[in-house]
Structure 1
Amino acid sequence: MMELKKEQFHRIEHMLSVDKCNLEIKSVIALNNPGKVYVDNAREPKSAIIWSKGIGGYYLIGEENNPSFVKGLSQYFDEVIIPQSQDLDYNNIEISGTSEIWDDILEMTFDNRAGYHKSYQYVYQFQGLKDQEVKRPPLLDGAEVKRVDGHFLTSDVNNIDFVKNNILEWWASLDLYLEKGIGYCIVYDSKIVASCVTSFMAGDEMESHIETVEDYQRKGFAKYLIYEYLKDCKNKNLIPYWDCMATNIGSYKTAEWHGYKKAFEYPLFTFAI
């Protein structure tokens, strides 16, 4: 196996047409989000490992019936992936497949590792948003909604780094976010208390990341920011995307309240390093 250069990422675009291809994968291949790609053959790759910096995890995609790739997975993780992950201060590896066959391969390959366990993720999408009304929740008196654009990011508002850090958790730079992403935040008590910014995007799909300062949670701020975000997606004819843990009931119930529909679920495999 070998690592592709960024200008070679397009060589695995043919792998992205599977039914359960996470937006996180697509956004790395589109060079919208930082990540790495490892393949069996640089010229004509059949199978690949994708690393997403933002999500902090790995994905398998491509041809499952690739004996040399599958046989070498465990060794490649031991020799390359795990050392690189440890350099990033990861305590464990999180990895998902993009088909039931990849899921079986992952289970057989890593189920003997320390700390191994299997959990599930839910993926929601908001198809047909352009033909629907966006539900507007109430907003607390005194709260101000601000668009996270270049003007706002250079303003002297208190704790502006809260928003900048949320952006840079997913994007390689603020400039790239400003070019391609959208976002909103709420200013309350003279400071930023919540933000909703694009985390991943590729084609006409866009995912958001919502963060609320702990002391201001459960005040409806996140719900209102999603409303603003969805209005923007509607105007731009985008398909909003939502990915959360199956155990995070509050997250997927919020998505459902806004009109997102469950698209698929997938297993997430974790083991200690």
Structure 2
Amino acid sequence: MIYELQKDQFMNCKHLLQKERHIEVQAIIEGNNSGRIFVDNASEPRSGLVWLGNLDGFVFIGEANNKMFNLEIKKVLREQIAQEAACLDLKWFEGFGHQVGWDRTIREILCEQSYEESNQKVYKLYESAYKTYNEPIIDEVYTVLKVTKENLVTYSLLKQSFFVSQITSFWNSVESFFEKGIGYVILHEDQVVSLCFSGFVSGNMHAVNIETILEHRGKNLAKKVAHIFVQECFKQGYVPYWDCMEVNKPSIAVAEGLGFTNIFDYIVYEYQF
């Protein structure tokens, strides 16, 4: 049988985490970011499935060779999660294993699905490796602004759909973001056109999330706001963490241009619900 944990039970999964792996899972178990967790045993879980709160994926954690869990979670994916995904207008399952040993098991769980595999790369940036000399100069029509409660009001950021949608795709609200995260935006005529902020937070690690409006791309805005963001991380003693698709060459170029080091890769499995 599979049990869905209540939020006050999430820490029961702490022992299933692996150091130096996915910050997203750690952030949810620690209660920093929203998410749901399905396990084989509520009090002493051996294996689990974490549904990221931003609907951006499912993460298998713990023992990969737990036959009972693997059989039952297959049913949960097919009978419960697929229905809930339809109600949420979520078209695709995207999953991966927190531990390396899950890859073979995930392929077995998804054997009845027509799934595809892709590669992801994870980076960290240490202050000693930061390439300050690569920070670009941007056009004077743009203004870099720290996301603070005062600036929310001064620049009416809460009325700007691009800004709000980006923050709330990772956090329950802008208010919850302020409790743990940091962020910067770039304004053009008082409108947010690019931003970089903490998508997930675990301990002193902050997952970098960057987005730039289409018509303002190609102007070094993503690079600029990323530099300002990581500088703030270092001021506060945080370690920036970067996760991107292997085929996303522009994202990799920005990360490596900042000095990020590739610490591990993993496989993502996806199929249409």
1:94 and 2:99 equivalent?
no
What RMSD in Å do the two structures reach over aligned CA positions?
1.7
**1:28-39 matches, cutoff 5 A:** 28-39=28-39
Range that drifts further, 57-66 or 250-259: 57-66
User: What residue number does 1:216 align with?
Assistant: 216
Once residues 101 and 17 of structure 1 are traced to their aligned partners in structure 2, the CA distance between those partners, rounded to angstroms, is 12
1:10 matched residue in structure 2? 11
Sequence identity (%) = 29
Q: SS of the counterpart of 1:137?
A: coil
**Partner SS, residue 154 of structure 1:** helix
The 5 A counterparts of 1:85-164 are 85-114=85-114, 116-127=115-126, 129=127, 132=130, 134-135=132-133, 136-157=135-156, 160-164=160-164
- Structure 1: which 5+ runs fail to align? none
Q: Displacement of 1:4 after TM fit?
A: 0.2
Q: TM-score, normalised by structure 2?
A: 0.93
Determine if contact 1:134/1:230 at 8 Å carries over to the other structure: no
Which residue is equivalent to 1:63?
63
Does the CA-based 8 Å contact 1:157-1:191 persist in structure 2? no
Distance 1:191 1:175 in 2: 20
Residue 194 to residue 131, structure 1, CA distance change in 2 (3 Å): closer
- The alpha carbon displacement at 1:133 in A equals 5.8
In structure 2, what is the Cα distance between the partners aligned to 1:86 and 1:37? 19
Q: Paired residue for 1:78?
A: 78
Give the Å deviation of 1:18.
4.7
In structure 1, distance between residues paired with 2:19 and 2:178: 30
Tell whether the 8 Å contact from 1:130 to 1:235 is kept in structure 2 after alignment. no
SS in 1 for 2:101: helix
Q: How far did residue 53 of structure 1 move?
A: 2.1
Displacement after TM superposition at 1:156 (Å) = 4.1
Once residues 169 and 56 of structure 2 are traced to their aligned partners in structure 1, the CA distance between those partners, rounded to angstroms, is 10
Contact 1:130 1:237 in 2 (8 A): no
Distance in 1 between residues matched to 2:199 and 2:130, nearest whole Å: 23
CA contact (8 A) 1:47 1:61 kept: yes
- Kindly provide the CA deviation profile for residues 176-214 of structure 1, in whole angstroms up to 9, marking residues without a partner as x: 111211111111234221111111110011012111111
Moved more, 225-234 or 185-194: 185-194
How do residues 174-185 of structure 1 correspond to structure 2 at under 5 angstroms?
A: 174-185=174-185
How high is the TM-score relative to the length of structure 1? 0.93
Contact 2:65 2:105 (8 Å CA) reproduced: no
In the TM superposition, what is the alpha-carbon distance from 1:17 to its structure 2 partner?
2.4
- SS for the counterpart of 2:136 is coil
State whether residues 36 and 51 of structure 2, in contact with CA within 8 Å, keep that contact through their aligned partners in structure 1: yes
